[in-house]
Structure 1
């Protein structure tokens, strides 16, 4: 860990918080709500830049705090922490362990790696968010079965829309930020043990 990593992780936690808290459209569902928002974008960008652990942690902290401070979503903060951490870990694994994205030089390969990693992380969330949410609300929060099912159905739609918009924005942001960070000597290269030509 170094100061740049810590500073960037803190920045992305703050951006995830802002992306949810200030760029959100709430959809009432029974006694609670679900939402369209841009918070997941910054979870994915953080994982692409910093790796899965730091990116996932930044997103989990930022979006859990957003839930806690929102007044509407504080009861699902633990669920949020788990799911956003998983988005980051999956995105980071695909980007850094499979594609070794931080060592790539060709723009086309960087673009491909960022797209596949983003889709992997957010694709997981499209499936996991409604499923985990259903059991969390039913078992932990004591929501009745029918309401929990309706909640899961609506959440599936909002999560899919969020995933599509977040994937597009994350890929664009990563590919725009990367050259700027390299020029500023703030891009963190994660060298694998053996790197061939990329």
Structure 2
């Protein structure tokens, strides 16, 4: 039992590090009236972490990886929003993954349903975060809502990438690494 708990803790830390690196190494900034949005792979790796580790450990990895990036890269004032977004993303992914009753291949469409829901919730939470950030800067609500909407291209691109890549990476992991080291 202790080995299983230790293994899960190690994988949680590893996933948090991969999420952090997924944001740090590949960033394409996009102009926006709210925040400094950019394209990255952090959300993709956060979703994969939840699929591999389950809700609790996957959410923890996502919150640490995404939150730590924000704290160390000039987004500390709004890192709490990122952490809440990561928690909501993990909850939606875990819920949909459980509800589709995913079993290994040939149920690829179920993984795409999970990644679609992840992308959709990311767009919604990014918009809400943009509204809050804009209002924190002193903008009125109706202007904040418009600014947040105009700032969504990066979140939308990240969501599309997540939709396409998550099922492919998860199936590759399922056929290789997870077959030998299943931690759920």
Q: Aligned partners of 2:34 and 2:93: how far apart in 1?
A: 33
Judge conservation of contact 1:36–1:158 (CA < 8 Å) in 2.
yes
In structure 2, which of residues 77, 83, 86 is the aligned counterpart of residue 84 of structure 1?
A: 86
Which stretch has the larger CA shift, 124-133 or 9-18? 124-133
Match of 1:134 in 2: 131
What are the equivalent positions in structure 2 for 1:92-111 lying under 5 Å apart?
Answer: 92-95=94-97, 97-101=98-102, 104-105=103-104, 107-109=105-107, 111=108
4+ runs deviating over 6 angstroms = none
* Cα deviation, residue 135, structure 1: 2.4
Residue 47 of structure 2, aligned match among 32, 44, 47? 44
Q: How many pairs does the alignment contain? A: 180
Deviations 1:66-96 (A, max 9, x none): 011112x22220010000111111111111x
**d(CA) in 1 for partners of 2:39, 2:61:** 20
Alignment TM-score, normalising by the size of structure 1:
0.81
Higher relative contact order (CA 8 A, sep 6+): 2
Q: Give per-residue Cα distances to partners, 1:154-194, cap 9 Å, x unaligned.
A: 3322111110012212111101001212442x1134xxxxx
Which consecutive residues of structure 1, in runs of 5 or more, have no partner in the other structure?
190-198
Structure 2, unaligned stretches of length 5 or more?
Answer: none
